[in-house]
A = this chain, B = another copy of it.
Amino acid sequence: MGFDRLIARIRALHNPTVAGLDPKLSYVPDYIRKEAFARCDDPFEAAASAILTYNKGLIDALCDIVPAVKPQCAYYEMYGWQGMRTLAQTIAYAKEKGMFVITDGKRNDIGATMQAYAAAHLGKTELDGCRCAAFDADALTVNGYLGTDGIAPLTEVCAQEDKGIFVLVKTSNPSSGELQDQLLGDAPVYRAMGNMCERWGEATIGEYGYSAVGAVVGATYPQQLSELRAALPHTFFLVPGYGAQGGGAKDVAPAFDANGDGAIINSSRGILCAYQKAGCDAHAYAEAARAEAIRMRDDIISAL
């Protein structure tokens, strides 16, 4: 219920972070890429295969210290349906290794269509009598611009399948304020969206006090993060923007509640490309990712 499974895993590992799996082909070590392109004639097959190998290496290196991974759909879709197959295989592998999987798809649509997205990413699809899971993540990021009927089909599946969603509230990018900071009466748009998250989550509050409807709030806006933490006591936060986008440990500290719960901090490029940044041998990419994940964990824990 709520994000209990995720929170329990964070507590067990003493690590409130998630590794973003945004595998641009240029991040994949040369030796993996070359092997795949030598083996496969179709360049999309080769890319998809190289990325799967890379992801599995990262998951193996991270699964006992990092509670969750967050594959970003865009970086799989750009490699075609073969890339989407790699997304499904990556999710299955990470779950097999005990990780909580957040698919970062920022999906949104009208109610009937959101039922289809809910089935695709969190639930099961009806297939002529059998019900099968297509992508089967533990949580999905979504956009709430369409209001309640775009969210209700997801909360239904979350309640049935013990899964969660993260609604975009205040995003980490420089132009997020163009709409999100505009005032609706006294309060900005992001606050209205945050209040909707509290309402949407009401029926799914778990044992740690958080509902199945979380929010995306960027590390690059620490003041809003602090304001929203106080205003949304039942909304668990997914916090992008640490590392490559400029957020530091003290920027993300306000995302947490008094118990040190309430948020998970994402790093994508920092972990994925740690071997490039460290200038170490590409064969050590997974060890470099693990070292960076440990550094990040200790950095964030020390700021709490």
Where the two chains meet, the residues of A that have a C-beta atom closer than 8 Å to any C-beta of B are 22, 24-26, 33, 37, 43-44, 46-47, 72, 74-75, 77-85, 87-88, 104, 106-111, 113-114, 116-117, 119-121, 125-128, 130, 132, 134-135, 143-150, 168, 171-180, 182-185, 189, 192-193, 196, 240, 245
Cα–Cα distance between A149 and B179 once the two chains are bound (Å): 12
Min distance, Cβ A69 to any Cβ of chain B, angstroms: 16
Cα–Cα distance between A75 and B134 once the two chains are bound (Å): 12
Min distance, Cβ A27 to any Cβ of chain B, angstroms: 12
A146 and B171 form a contact (CB under 8 A)? yes
Among B22, B121, B179, contact of A77 (Cβ-Cβ < 8 Å) = B121
A88 and B78 form a contact (CB under 8 A)? no
B109 and A43 form a contact (CB under 8 A)? no
Cα–Cα distance between A110 and B47 once the two chains are bound (Å): 23
A145 and B116 form a contact (CB under 8 A)? no
Min distance, Cβ A196 to any Cβ of chain B, angstroms: 7
B168 and A146 form a contact (CB under 8 A)? yes
A145 and B147 form a contact (CB under 8 A)? no
A44 and B134 form a contact (CB under 8 A)? yes
Cα–Cα distance between A87 and B26 once the two chains are bound (Å): 26
A172 and B110 form a contact (CB under 8 A)? yes
A81 and B77 form a contact (CB under 8 A)? no
* Nearest neighbor of A146 in chain B, beta-carbon distance: B171
